Amino acid sequence: MTLQQLKYVVTVAECGNITEAAKQLFVSQPTVTSAIHDLEKEMQIVIFIRTNKGVILSEDGERFLGHARQVLEQVDLIEGIYKDDVVSKPHFAVSCQHYSFAVNAFVDVIREFDACQYDFTIREEQTHEIIEDVTNLKSELGVIYLSSKNTEVLSKMLKRNELEFTELFTATPHVFICDSHPLASKKSITMDDLQDYPYLTYEQGEYNSQYFSEEFVSTLDSRKNIRVRDRATLFNLIIGLNGYTVCSGVISAELNGRNIISKPLDVEEYMRIGIISRKGVVLSRYAREYIEALKAHCM
């Protein structure tokens, strides 16, 4: 077993495709395939299961990947201390719902380590994609929320995939609107106040249900509904159409713009926002720093 083989495994797991991993590693696809095959033979396990869409980690492969990441992280630390001429390239990936504080925390991690080389990934995705990413160790961490409406279903799904949820904070629901909105002067807003305005939500594909929605208020509660895929479009529509969305209330003027404001929503509900990770997998120093940065931005 070599460090190069471990790097190949980690990169293939992150890409989900051997061809794409080979491009990132600047080697040929047969080289990566052969190296992983030799490693599987030596370890007497199957690390990757081949599918028509690429590769996925086997159960043994998931455990192996966790150990491989730890080994490579320790190598980076040693080389950073003793080999001034060696430039290590740290890797870290997180998948999250569309939270500006999750992006701000990601920026903090990059600034904290200030490496001259790094390969970091942040994915703002649909809820089920976040769970799949962390399950398959494509991302080390995921950021989602639980509420009274989705806890039972999502908790079962997390347990089935050997994931654990660690709460960061409990938020009271807020509404994001523009500062020129007719309701902008109100101290708090009710659902009745919002009936005449477009409700903007994040599209969840085939998982469009209240259990996977990023907004705990169902679209059935609104007469006008618009689904979007990205945060920029959502905020443009909030401004252009006097629309609104329901969220945690944690707002970033840097990322969302100063004309987006947050108002308390008058409902008896909560949002437990936290991180999901694989059970039994030791987190990298980047993941640990990311969690601390999340706490700093949310509390």
What domains lie within the chain, and their CATH numbers? Answer: 1-88 (1.10.10.10), 94-116+126-299 (3.40.190.290)
Closest to 108 (Cα-Cα) out of 127, 97, 94: 94
Q: Give, in order, the Cα–Cα distances in Å from 18 to each of 26, 59, 71, 179, 262.
A: 12, 18, 21, 48, 44
Residue range 106-155, pLDDT digits in tens? 999 998 887 677 888 999 999 999 999 998 888 999 999 999 889 999 99
Q: What is the largest CA-CA distance in the chain?
A: 67
Residue range 170-219, pLDDT digits in tens? 988 999 999 999 999 999 999 999 999 999 999 988 887 778 988 887 76
**110 Cβ partners below 8 Å, 6+ apart?**
118, 120
Give the model's pLDDT for residue 257: 65
* Cut 0.85: pTM above it: no
C-alpha–C-alpha distance, residues 147 and 87, integer Å: 44
Give the model's pLDDT for residue 84: 59
Region of 60 (left: φ > 0; alpha: ψ -120 to 50; beta: rest) is alpha
Closest to 67 (Cα-Cα) out of 133, 142, 3, 162: 3
Q: Give, in order, the Cα–Cα distances in Å from 23 to each of 26, 28, 40, 76, 93.
A: 5, 7, 22, 22, 18
Question: 3-class DSSP state for residue 47?
Answer: coil
Element of type H or E holding 119: strand 119-124
Tokens of 174: 């807020």
Q: Give CA 279 to chain center in angstroms.
A: 17
C-alpha–C-alpha distance, residues 58 and 136, integer Å: 9
Tokens of 236: 């443009």
Give the model's pLDDT for residue 219: 67
Residue range 17-42, pLDDT digits in tens? 899 889 888 899 999 999 999 999 99
**179 Cβ partners below 8 Å, 6+ apart?**
258, 259, 260, 261
Runs of H (alpha helix) within 91-141: 100-113, 127-135
**Is the pLDDT score of 50 beyond 90?**
no
Q: Give CA 4 to chain center in angstroms.
A: 27
C-alpha–C-alpha distance, residues 214 and 144, integer Å: 8
Euclidean distance between the first and final Cα of the chain, in Å? 44
Better pLDDT: 54 or 289 = 289
* CB environment 30-59: b (16+ within 10 A), e (fewer): eebbebbeebbeeeeeebbeeeeebbbbee
**Is the pLDDT score of 80 beyond 70?**
no
Residue range 85-103, pLDDT digits in tens? 555 677 889 999 999 999 9
C-alpha–C-alpha distance, residues 176 and 260, integer Å: 7
Region of 280 (left: φ > 0; alpha: ψ -120 to 50; beta: rest) is left
